[in-house]
Structure 1
Amino acid sequence: MKTNNNTYKIKLGIFVSIGLLMLFIIIFFIGSHQNLFSSKFEINTNFRNVSGLQVGGQVRFSGIVVGNIENIVIINDSTVNVVALLNNDVRKFIKKDSRASISSEGIIGDKILIISQGSHNATEVSNGATIASFEPIEFDDILASIKVSAENAEIITDELAMMLIDINEGKGTLGTLLNDESVAKDLEKTMENLRKGSKGLEENMEAAKHNFLLRGYFRKKEREKERIKKEEATKEDAEIVKQ
């Protein structure tokens, strides 16, 4: 009977020891994942709307998890204070002009706090400091904006369709102009007159070149053109020689 009792106690001791060991291992892994065993420092930031951010959520800097949300407190009807605990080894990288924003892990993932990089010359944040923030853009606001844009596009498309129908039927000023044969004939006559006017101008210019009063002017222009061509040719030859 005594032997059975001792065996039972030994088994119980082994079972309790294994249970405690497993508990310590679990606590160690959870603590390592949550950075419970590293030194921390605290920063604060304020938002009008935390957009679903929760206590325990991740804090990221340059895409790396550097801490967790410690507390979220409503200060007043327009301000919500967010307290974050960050690993002390990243403190030197977070500046006083760094800013906090709220984002999502993926499209519909958990909300996380993002801390931006500050300017290179700014001083690092102190423990308990408050940094500025960007207000999060709500997904509902994006959907509402897309809806308004789609409705406006639909209205514009309908109006364009009605305008094209009116043009095809000869309604309105533009429709009348495009469908009126007399307007087309007038445009054709105008183009013909322009062609004749251009031809007459060319003839007048040719006659002016042979006029003894203007002959010197045109010859001077021709000499300038020849001189410019020669200079350009000389420059091209010089560039070829350099190469």
Structure 2
Amino acid sequence: MESQGNTQIKIGIYLAIGTICILGSIFFLGADKALFRRYVKIHAHFEQVQGLAVGSVVSLSGVTVGNVQDITFLPDENKLDVTMSIDEKFLKRIRKESAVEIRTQGALGDKFVLIFPGDPRQPEVKDGDVLPLAKASDLLGILTERGGEAGKIFDVVNEVYKMAHTINAENRMEKIMMNFDTASSNLAQTSKDIQKIVGNSSGGVKLNHSIEKLDSILTKIDKGEGSLGLLINDPSIHNQLKAALGGGGTQRKNQVKTLLRTSIEKED
């Protein structure tokens, strides 16, 4: 009996040791060897967290470096203090001027904190430091940040929808397109007619002859040939006309007397 009891005790001890070893292996493998890592707490102050929760991922340029440990309200500001637990081995990549923002991950809309690496020349962050916020770069973040201004976008979309609905009502779009097609056809036909006139031998000859005549007339006028050329190019004629029509009173009277005298002499 005593031998059987000792055997059962030994079996129980072996089972306990085996269970402890199995649980220890699960703990070290499943917990990512957390006992051998040191984590540092850094903070960021947001006006709103947009669905961010405790346990959400903290990412550094796409690499998971920690998790959100706590979200609390600041006592003196209308902001939320997000406490992030960061693996110490990544601190050399996070600098004092590194900025953070909240982004959406995946189709389900999970929120996470994204940290942008700072200038390597800046000092590393320390436990308890507060990181500045980055400007929102994703669409949802921009819409949330701009607030009332983002509503104007939806107003514009609504106005465009109304305009499109009005144009499409009662087949107006179809009528407009038909009118455009008719106008285009008429323009094409007119262009063909003009090409036929210009391309026709007799029509082309007449057009060229008319252009040559017009060019000859303008050349003569420019050279001062003919009555019109003299009138345009001779300043004395212009001065005489000006004196007769709008010159000084004495000069105009003398010219009128000369005309009357000449007329009387001709009658005698």
Please indicate the TM-score interval, normalised by the length of the shorter structure.
0.5 to 0.7
Alignment of 1:37-52 (within 5 A): 37-52=36-51
Taking the aligned partners of 1:123 and 1:40, their CA distance within structure 2 comes to: 18
> Shift in Å at residue 205 of structure 1?
4.6
After the TM superposition, which residues 199-214 of structure 1 pair with which residues of structure 2 at under 5 Å, given as runs? Answer: 204-205=214-215, 213=223
CA distance in 2, matches of 1:146, 1:153: 11
Larger relative contact order (CA 8 Å, sep ≥ 6): 1
- Shift in CA distance, 155/24, structure 1 to aligned 2, threshold 3 Å: same
Q: What is the TM-score normalised by the length of structure 2? A: 0.56
| Residue aligning to 1:159 | 166
Secondary structure (helix, strand or coil) at the match of 1:114 reads strand
Partner of 2:86: 86
Query: For residues 92 and 212 of structure 2, what CA distance do their matches in structure 1 show?
Result: 78
Q: Which residue of 1 aligns with 2:126?
A: 126
| 1:32 matched to 2:32 | yes
**Superposition pairs of residues 184-195 of structure 1, within 5 angstroms:** none
Give me the whole-angstrom Cα distance separating, in 1, the residues matched to 2:5 and 2:152.
75
Root mean square deviation of aligned Cα: 4.3
Query: Structure 2 unaligned runs (5+)?
Result: 145-150, 199-206, 225-268
Contact residue 102 and residue 135 of structure 1 kept, 8 A = no
Alignment of 1:5-16 (within 5 A): 5-16=5-16
Contact 1:48 1:135 in 2 (8 A): no
User: Is 1:4 matched with 2:11?
Assistant: no
- Which is helix-richer, 1 or 2? 2
Q: Deviations over 1:130-174 (max 9, x none)?
A: 012258737x97xx99976664443121122359739959xxxxx
1:72 correspondence with 2:79: no
Offset at 1:41? 2.0
Identity %: 21
Structure 1: stretches of 5+ with no match in the other structure: 170-174, 215-243
Q: What is the TM-score normalised by the length of structure 1? A: 0.60
Q: Could you say which structure has the larger radius of gyration?
A: 2
Question: Aligned pairs, how many?
Answer: 191
Maintained 8 Å contact 1:67/1:84: yes
Q: How far did 1:66 drift?
A: 1.0
C-alpha distance 112-168 of structure 1, shift in aligned 2 (>3 A): closer
CA distance in 2 between partners of 1:54 and 1:110 (Å):
9
